[in-house]
Amino acid sequence: MTEEIRKIVADHARLSIDAAGLAADADLYQAGMTSHASVNVMLALEDHFDVEFPDRMLTRDVFESIAAIERALGELRGSTVS
Amino acid sequence: MSVSVDRDQAFLDTVRRVADELAGPNADSVDREARFPIETIEGLRAEGALSAFIPTELGGGGVAFETIAAACFELGRRCGASAMVYAMHQIQVISIVRHLDDAPWFEDYLRTVSREQRLIASVTSELGTGGDMGRSVAAVTPAEGGACTFEKQAPTVSYGAYADDLFVTLRRAPDAEPSDQVVALARKEQLELEPTGTWDPLGMRGTCSPGYVVRATIAPEQVLATPFPRVSSESMVPVSHILWSHLWLGISTDAFDRARAFVRAAAKRSPGETPPVAVRLSHLMSELSLLRAEVSSALAEFVEASDEPGRERLTTMASALRFNNLKIAASEQAPRVCQGALGVCGIMGFKNDTPFSVGRHLRDTMSACLMVANERIHQTNASLLLIAKDV
């Protein structure tokens, strides 16, 4: 899943650096992702993973790194299974 | 937030007195001469009102946020510019209080604000960012001896020449991205302000907000540890929109009161008949009550969300949309009410020297849609609406 997220980040976050070399816990905002770009990342994630982020998860922190996004997706998918 | 009824009531009574005795009587000259409302600010200083929100253990008044909002409303009823200066100062104080995280430098600073009643202005807008507060060009730059410097080109700094200290948004470091922002507090003796423009605007003339190049040398501790995006979404943006809306409501309420006084005077001249213009006043009342409802519901939601542990709700997109909507709605409704009051009072309202003059009210509230331009807020909302669910 990490690589799928990385691909989405590379395509939509408009980072000033190459997402391929980004650590999973690197701060995407510090890497140049604007709030506007983060919305596009969220939309692409919802589309790709066929999920909907509820409003409580639509915060800056949840999308601040690839690892944080992976945790959020894990939480969402876990809750749909149970 | 706990409200100590007696303390808060006493504070509000004091602000009301300053508004009636100092802000009101000087409002016309402040407006005409585009001069700083020094009488009001000195009056508030003398009463310790500049530190009203600072906790008592740091020497402040410890009053509740709701009471600060009510104070902005009361000042707005008498002088829009006085209210705006007070509101902007409170926005900086409240942002520091809510995000200081026990930092010793900021605790000491707040004690100094309480003791010396220092007035804080903000430097958030910047040339080269297209009006986007979420981006900075100027950066915290390491200098000799462990100090930091910065130089920021600010198109407007409200009451910059009269402020003791400045609250400034900056990039975290010279190599940081434009959106990687922090906020720093620079004291007057560390600052150099080079004026770059004049100040002769349509309204809110007493805020004295020309442009400046701001240069400063500060210590690293003067940069707030909490990243600016968090300070902004949890505090600075919602607090700004709530306090501004309260003072716009105050200005609109006074315009309505003047229209009502005009109708009453007309009624007294023809006893037994309801003057035709009274119907227009009724229309105006419904416009005013819409504004009042939006302002008070936003305040209640903010206070409730602020009381929750971690204040997580304030960091959601739904919350950003909520308080952006308050700004848009209130900034459009306030001049509408003032224009309605002008419609009631007619030429007596249009003239600047009658008890029913509402020209200043109308001009002051016309600044509302420009203070963070509504179209920019709509652009942000449009983007958030693509993803937010329950709005």
**Chain segment B27-37, per-residue pLDDT in tens:** 999 999 999 99
Confidence band (pLDDT; 50, 70, 90) for B3? Answer: low
CATH superfamily membership of B228-385: Butyryl-CoA Dehydrogenase, subunit A, domain 3 (1.20.140.10)
Mean pLDDT for chain B overall = 96
Give the DSSP H or E segment for B154.
strand B148-154
Asked if residue B185 lies in contact with residue B148, where contact means CB atoms within 8 angstroms, the answer is no
Across A23-32, A54-63, B183-192, the highest mean pLDDT is recorded for B183-192
Residue B382 pLDDT more than 60?
yes
Collapsed DSSP state (helix, strand, coil) of residue A29? coil
Interface contact flag, B134 A33, Cβ < 8 Å: no
Task: Enumerate residues 6+ apart whose C-beta is below 8 A from B175.
Answer: none
Confidence band (pLDDT; 50, 70, 90) for B4? Answer: confident
Amino acid at A49: F
Interface contact flag, A55 B134, Cβ < 8 Å: no
pLDDT tens for each residue of B106-145: 999 999 999 999 999 999 999 999 888 889 999 999 999 9
Asked if residue B11 lies in contact with residue B52, where contact means CB atoms within 8 angstroms, the answer is yes
Asked if residue A68 lies in contact with residue A74, where contact means CB atoms within 8 angstroms, the answer is no
Q: What is the nearest CA distance from A82 to chain B, expressed in angstroms?
A: 22
Option in A42, A46, A55 nearest B316 (CB) = A55
Residue ranges of chain B that CATH labels 2.40.110.10: 122-222
Lowest mean pLDDT among A32-46, B200-214, B229-243: A32-46
Option in B134, B316, B383 nearest A59 (CB) = B316
Chain A partners within 8 Å of B230 (Cβ)? 60
A80 in reach of chain B (CB within 8 A): no
Residue ranges of chain B that CATH labels 1.10.540.10: 5-118
Chain A partners within 8 Å of B131 (Cβ)? none
Collapsed DSSP state (helix, strand, coil) of residue B36? coil
Q: What is the nearest CA distance from B224 to chain A, expressed in angstroms?
A: 17
Chain A partners within 8 Å of B315 (Cβ)? 59-61
Rounded CA separation B233/B243 (Å): 15
How much is the pLDDT for B167?
A: 97
Closest CA to B286 of B357, B331, B337: B337
Residue A35 pLDDT more than 90?
no
Q: Which residue has the higher pLDDT, B96 or A21?
A: B96
CATH superfamily membership of B5-118: Acyl-CoA dehydrogenase/oxidase, N-terminal domain (1.10.540.10)
Rounded mean pLDDT, B341-347: 98
Asked if residue B150 lies in contact with residue B184, where contact means CB atoms within 8 angstroms, the answer is yes
Interface contact flag, B315 A61, Cβ < 8 Å: yes
pLDDT-above-90 percentage for chain B: 93
Residue A82 pLDDT more than 50?
no
pLDDT-above-70 percentage for chain B: 99
How much is the pLDDT for B209?
A: 95
How much is the pLDDT for B228?
A: 94
Domain span including residue A29: 2-81
**What is the chain B residue with the closest CA to A17?**
B177
**What is the chain A residue with the closest CA to B230?**
A60
Rounded CA separation B363/B338 (Å): 9
Interface contact flag, B387 A33, Cβ < 8 Å: no
Token couple for B249: 């409501």
Interface contact flag, B318 A55, Cβ < 8 Å: yes
Give the DSSP H or E segment for B245.
helix B237-269
Rounded CA separation A76/B296 (Å): 35
How much is the pLDDT for A6?
A: 94
Residue B364 pLDDT more than 90?
yes
pLDDT tens for each residue of B45-80: 999 999 999 999 999 999 999 999 999 999 999 999
Q: What is the nearest CA distance from A72 to chain B, expressed in angstroms?
A: 15
Chain B partners within 8 Å of A52 (Cβ)? 389
**What is the chain A residue with the closest CA to B175?**
A30
Residue B213 pLDDT more than 50?
yes
Q: Measure the N-to-C terminal CA separation of chain B; round to a whole number of Å.
A: 25
Lowest mean pLDDT among A51-65, B154-168, B248-262: A51-65
ipTM rounded to 2 decimals: 0.85
Determine phi and psi for B51, rounding to 5 degrees: -110, 20
Mean pLDDT for chain A overall = 90
CATH code at position A38: 1.10.1200.10
Residue from A33, A45, A60, A62 whose CB has the most chain B CBs within 10 Å, to mutate = A60
CATH superfamily membership of B122-222: Butyryl-CoA Dehydrogenase, subunit A, domain 2 (2.40.110.10)
Rounded CA separation B370/B322 (Å): 19
Confidence band (pLDDT; 50, 70, 90) for A81? Answer: very low
Confidence band (pLDDT; 50, 70, 90) for A25? Answer: very high
How much is the pLDDT for B46?
A: 98
pLDDT tens for each residue of B306-334: 999 889 899 999 999 999 999 999 999 99
Residue A3 pLDDT more than 50?
yes
Q: Which residue has the higher pLDDT, B389 or B341?
A: B341
> How many structural domains comprise chain A?
1
